[in-house]
């Protein structure tokens, strides 16, 4: 049973607009004339192709092709803004600084400078446009995924980012930390509803968007998480870890030992993160451990528990019967719920 307050906030995000606090994000500014070429040689996506107002999703890998972090890169015109999980900030900054030699590149930690709120849902453009100056809704809706633009809030500079990693597409607003309460009040006054962490996770998991430290970690190869089509450019030059990725894609035809998959369950019990997944063969009466869960939630749309899990590649077919702690379920095609076009 989905609690009424949970369903109300979820419905607001899906049908109107919801506010998600992005305090779990860190932000690094990369400046200098060599910023694009410098990041291009380290990250998996095509950074030099970004024009002012554009952005992309990318990963930073070890030479062995395993993830250090995922991140979002935004070319603002005069600087690049990197957004990533707060827990990975120190590692990223240290590694970026380690590879700086004679390049004209400067790094700045601006995590504490900004407050960041995501506004998601069908009415997000209208609400953001009404709260900000110089950012009409008619122009916001034309921003592509990862697009960005300058605006103003209460006469002060603001940055608007087009985001989809929230599950329900929308916009992220960055303003000076001193304006936090005023921005939140303006968004609420325009009709947006606060979305707590549990509801935000339901939106994300339904859209099958993996999150670092939950569904990906330092042992993950991007192909295992299924993020290669969004995070990896197959036409750019060298980057850290490229040799491993290309070898798996070309020689191994993209086959990896495990992949992130979806599971839906009977009943109302959401499986714990890290729970063992057992493949059930009712004919042979044989069970086999085939993976572990990473993120789970109750899905208001499907009205049943769902989870992301890494499964052995032989057990990825939708309809495969599984069990977690004695609760039956099936492997389900991802995403669980189709998200709107961004």
User: How do residues 210-241 score in pLDDT, each as one tens digit?
Assistant: 999 999 999 999 999 999 999 999 999 899 99
Contact yes or no for 187/127 (Cβ under 8 A)? yes
Per-residue pLDDT, 2: 80
Name the one residue in this structure whose structure tokens are 């989870």: 307
Strand duo 18-21 + 114-120: pairing: antiparallel
Q: Is residue 143 part of a domain?
A: yes
Question: How many Cα atoms occupy the beta-carbon half-sphere of 83 within 13 Å?
Answer: 26
Q: Is residue 293 part of a domain?
A: no
Residue 8 lies in a domain: yes
Name residue 75's beta-bridge partners.
Answer: 80
Percentage of residues of the chain with pLDDT beyond 90: 93
Q: Is 52 helix (H, G, I), strand (E, B) or coil?
A: coil
Q: For 137-159, how does the pLDDT look when each residue is reduced to its tens digit (9 = 90+)?
A: 999 999 999 999 999 999 999 99
Predicted local distance difference test score (pLDDT) of residue 251: 81
Q: Would residue 301 count as lying in a domain? A: no
Is residue 130 situated within a structural domain?
Answer: yes
Domain count, the chain: 1
How high is the mean pLDDT of the chain?
A: 95
Q: Is residue 323 in some structural domain?
A: no
Query: What is the per-residue pLDDT for 275?
Result: 98
When pLDDT is averaged across residues 70-74 and rounded to a whole number, the result is: 98
Domain hosting residue 151, numbered range: 4-202
Is 326 a residue whose pLDDT tops 80? Answer: yes
- Report pLDDT for 233: 97
- Per-residue confidence band for 286, with pLDDT thresholds at 50, 70 and 90: low
Report yes or no on 21 lying in a domain: yes
Residue 284 predicted with pLDDT over 80: no
Residue 88 lies inside a defined structural domain of this protein: yes
Residue 107's nearest CA partner among 122, 119, 92 is 92
Q: Is 16 exposed, middle or buried (0-12, 13-18, 19+ CB in 10 A)?
A: middle
- The CATH number of residue 111's host domain is 3.30.1360.120
């Amino acid at each position: 049973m989905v609690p009424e307050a949970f369903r109300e906030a979820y419905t607001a995000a899906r049908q109107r607009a919801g506010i998600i606090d992005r305090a779990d994000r860190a932000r690094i500014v990369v400046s200098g004339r060599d910023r694009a070429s410098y990041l291009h040689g380290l990250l998996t996506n095509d950074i030099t192709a970004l024009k002012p107002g554009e952005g992309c999703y990318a990963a930073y890998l070890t030479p062995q092709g395993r993830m250090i972090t995922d991140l979002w890169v935004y070319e603002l015109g005069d600087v690049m803004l990197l957004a990533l999980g707060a827990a990975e900030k120190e590692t990223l900054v240290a590694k970026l600084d380690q590879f700086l030699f004679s390049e004209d590149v400067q790094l700045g930690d601006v995590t504490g400078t900004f407050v960041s709120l995501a506004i998601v849902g069908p009415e997000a453009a209208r609400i953001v446009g009404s709260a900000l100056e110089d950012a009409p809704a008619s122009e916001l809706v034309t921003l592509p995924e990862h697009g960005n633009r300058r605006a103003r809030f209460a006469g002060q500079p603001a940055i608007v980012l087009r985001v989809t990693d929230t599950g329900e597409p929308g916009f992220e607003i960055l303003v000076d930390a001193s304006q936090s309460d005023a921005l939140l009040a303006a968004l609420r006054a325009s009709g947006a509803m606060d979305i707590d962490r549990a509801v935000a996770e339901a939106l994300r998991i339904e859209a099958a968007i993996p999150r670092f430290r939950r569904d990906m970690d330092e042992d993950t190869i991007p192909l295992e998480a299924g993020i290669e089509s969004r995070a990896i450019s197959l036409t750019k030059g060298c980057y850290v870890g490229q040799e491993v990725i290309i070898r798996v894609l070309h020689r191994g035809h993209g086959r990896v030992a495990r992949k992130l998959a979806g599971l839906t369950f009977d009943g109302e019990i959401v499986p714990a993160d890290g729970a063992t997944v057992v493949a059930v063969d009712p004919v042979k009466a044989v069970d086999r451990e085939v993976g572990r869960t990473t993120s789970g939630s109750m899905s208001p749309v499907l009205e049943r528990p769902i989870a992301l899990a890494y499964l052995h590649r032989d057990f990825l077919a939708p309809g495969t019967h599984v069990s977690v702690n004695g609760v039956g379920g099936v492997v389900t095609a991802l995403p669980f719920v189709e998200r709107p076009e961004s």
